[in-house]
Structure 1
Amino acid sequence: MDSDIDIAHGITLRDIGEVAQDLGLSSEDICYFGGDKAKISAKKLSQLGDSQGGELVLVTAMSPTTSGEGKTTLTIGLTQALSILGRKATLCIREPSLGPVFGMKGGAAGGGYSQVLPMEDINLQFTGDIPAVTAAHNLLSALIDNHIFRGNKLNINPNKVLWRRVVDMNDRSLRRIFIGIGGSSGVAREDGFDITASSEVMAILCLASDYSDLKKRLGDILVAYTFFGEPV
């Protein structure tokens, strides 16, 4: 059997607009990221609302094989099987983060003839959501440290800052670091990096029902405690 990459490179991809039409979506309903990737527009999602009309099959857990076939490959294969049976089926799987992609686990686009394409794009940043979450999360980190440096009006205790930085990479050396050690140009404190997929911003992005809900949830984030033990 050919390798995953050989199988992927041997496939001619359909235009994503044609795929959208098969799902009942028009070209105005999607936002293109080239000819083979797209997102459903926020306007279309709001029009759909909580409409019911399909059946949800949730793949929660399984023991992967020694070759790595697990939930993703099974879900893709199940969707393919339903399509062959004449059912209109789509799948929803997580976007891979670079930590697992470059670690022992590898990519998360399935395998063999049950994989999603373009595999390289999906495993390497895809439509840019994870970099956007990284930037938003670390912007707040920068604001916190800048606020402490610029007079600390909120009385944030540098030793009680809960908001660690994030990076989309499995870099062990960044898990625990010291920052702000530039003399008078910074406030020294202990900090560290988590993976972007574990960011509270990422969780909020997944749970928010609309822009208003997203804004409210982001505004409710607990980032630190003051010298008097009050939450910030």
Structure 2
Amino acid sequence: MKSDIQIARECQLKPIEEIAHQLHITDQELEPYGHYIGKVSHERMDPDKIAQSNLILVTAITPTKAGVGKTTVSIGLALGLNKIGKSAAVALREPSLGPCFGMKGGAAGGGYAQVLPMESINLHFTGDFHAITSAHNMITALLDNYIYQNRNSCEGLSEVLWKRVLDVNDRSLRNCITGLGGVGNGVPTETGFDITPASEIMAILCLASDLDDLRRRIDNILLGYTKTK
């Protein structure tokens, strides 16, 4: 039985432009990341065509001992539909670095039901997760500065609801204390790190309907409570 990585490396990949053309995506709508990965402009979304299509949602599957779960089933289903002549594409959540690095079955499917190039997908992909992590932690840095500047005023925070995020599920960082080393390094605070997919920024990005809605939702994030709440 071949391993996932053996199957992946034996497969001859098609250029991303060829894949895009099969889906009627023009070169102007495609933003390539190397030879085999690319992003599609959100302007490509057509509500009328979406209304004419069918969506099959695969969710809440308990993985088997062989590692077969939602991702593998979704990929296999899309491959099967295309095999019988249907026009189908699979939409998967970008894998996190936490459970992957080629371990625990990988994060791009498995066996002959996997998305390639596996190594690139497992290691940062197009950088979107990094952008989410950076945006979330920038808010954290601004929040810490607010706490520091208002530590002796009634506008200071009595409770903080916001943690940092990291795209690795590091148990040792789930709960920690920041701001040690003197007053110049901030206010000592009990905090911790969540994994990036659990970030509120990630949830907002998934739920936002457009850029204006994205901004509105970010503006409404609750970071903590002031002493005068």
> Is TM more than 0.5 here?
yes
Instruction: Please give the root-mean-square deviation of Cα atoms over the aligned residues, in Å.
Output: 1.7
For 1:42, give the aligned amino acid. Answer: H
What residue is the counterpart of 1:119 in the other structure? Answer: 118
Q: Distance in 2 between matches of 1:7 and 1:154?
A: 62
| TM-superposed deviation, 1:147 | 1.6
Q: Distance in 2 between matches of 1:90 and 1:167?
A: 30
Q: 1:194 aligns to what SS in structure 2?
A: strand
TM superposition score normalised by structure 2: 0.93
What residue is the counterpart of 2:109 in the other structure? Answer: 110
What residue is the counterpart of 1:187 in the other structure? Answer: 187
Identity of counterpart residues, as a percentage?
51
1:162 aligns with 2:157: no
What residue is the counterpart of 2:147 in the other structure? Answer: 148
| TM-superposed deviation, 1:103 | 9.6
Q: 1:38 aligns to what SS in structure 2?
A: strand
For the Cα contact (< 8 Å) 2:101–2:123, is it kept in 1?
no
For the Cα contact (< 8 Å) 1:103–1:170, is it kept in 2?
no
What residue is the counterpart of 2:3 in the other structure? Answer: 3
What residue is the counterpart of 1:80 in the other structure? Answer: 79
TM superposition score normalised by structure 1: 0.92
Q: Distance in 1 between matches of 2:87 and 2:101?
A: 34
What residue is the counterpart of 1:90 in the other structure? Answer: 89
Q: Distance in 2 between matches of 1:64 and 1:161?
A: 36
Q: Distance in 2 between matches of 1:110 and 1:193?
A: 27
Number of corresponding residues: 226
Q: 2:52 aligns to what SS in structure 1?
A: coil
| CA shift in 2, pair 1:134/1:10, >3 Å | same
What residue is the counterpart of 1:59 in the other structure? Answer: 58
For the Cα contact (< 8 Å) 2:154–2:227, is it kept in 1?
no
| TM-superposed deviation, 1:94 | 1.3
For the Cα contact (< 8 Å) 1:156–1:224, is it kept in 2?
no
For 1:64, give the aligned amino acid. Answer: P
Q: Distance in 2 between matches of 1:50 and 1:62?
A: 31
What residue is the counterpart of 1:49 in the other structure? Answer: 47
**Structure 1 gap segments, 5+ residues each:** none
Q: Distance in 2 between matches of 1:187 and 1:64?
A: 43
What residue is the counterpart of 1:204 in the other structure? Answer: 204
Q: Distance in 1 between matches of 2:48 and 2:127?
A: 26
Q: Distance in 2 between matches of 1:106 and 1:156?
A: 46
Q: Distance in 1 between matches of 2:6 and 2:104?
A: 20
Which 4+ residue blocks in structure 1 deviate beyond 4 angstroms? none
Q: Distance in 1 between matches of 2:56 and 2:113?
A: 17
Q: Distance in 2 between matches of 1:121 and 1:95?
A: 11
Q: Distance in 2 between matches of 1:11 and 1:19?
A: 15
For 1:150, give the aligned amino acid. Answer: Q
Q: 1:31 aligns to what SS in structure 2?
A: strand
| TM-superposed deviation, 1:208 | 0.7
Q: Distance in 1 between matches of 2:69 and 2:122?
A: 16
Q: Distance in 2 between matches of 1:102 and 1:29?
A: 30
